A = this chain, B = another copy of it.
Amino acid sequence: MAIHETNPNFMNGVPELLILRLLQEREMYGYEIVQAIHSGSQAVIAVGEGVVYPVLHGLEQDGALKSRRKTVNGRSRIYYSLTPAGGQRLAALSSTWSNLAGAIHKMLAGAQA
């Protein structure tokens, strides 16, 4: 039989997923994203800056995000926004997540298939 086929990174990448999703709505900067995830999830999810910044850099390097400096109130911020590639990445990740979450939910609910 042999079970091959690998999980596309399984449960990893939730921060990445949420960041992409937030940036789909509007451009945001790192510090803002940290709080948006916290408040937007009713404090269920808390990712620190030590998670967000590296993800942001990685995504930009992959061409999923682009950034621009902007100074507001004497504060220098780096705003990130989605590129087309980022949009596709979001769509793919999002679909994978739904798939996975659905499967887990079924098994938890009483999958004795």
Which A residues are within 8 Å of any B CB, using their own CB?
A: 1, 3-7, 10-12, 14, 17-18, 21-22, 25, 34-35, 37-48, 94, 97-108, 111-113
Distance of A58 from chain B, by nearest CB (Å): 17
Say which residue of B7, B41, B104, B111 sits within 8 Å of A106 (CB atoms): B41
Given A3-B38, A44-B100, A99-B44: A25 touches B112 (CB 8 Å cut-off): yes
- Show 22 residue pairs from A and B whose CB-CB distance is below 8 angstroms, ordered by the A residue: A1-B35, A3-B48, A5-B43, A6-B46, A7-B46, A10-B45, A11-B11, A11-B12, A17-B104, A22-B107, A37-B107, A39-B113, A40-B111, A41-B103, A41-B111, A44-B99, A44-B103, A45-B104, A97-B104, A98-B108, A101-B104, A101-B105
Q: Report how many copies the assembly holds.
A: 2
> What residues of chain B lie closer than 8 Å to A47, measured between beta carbons?
7
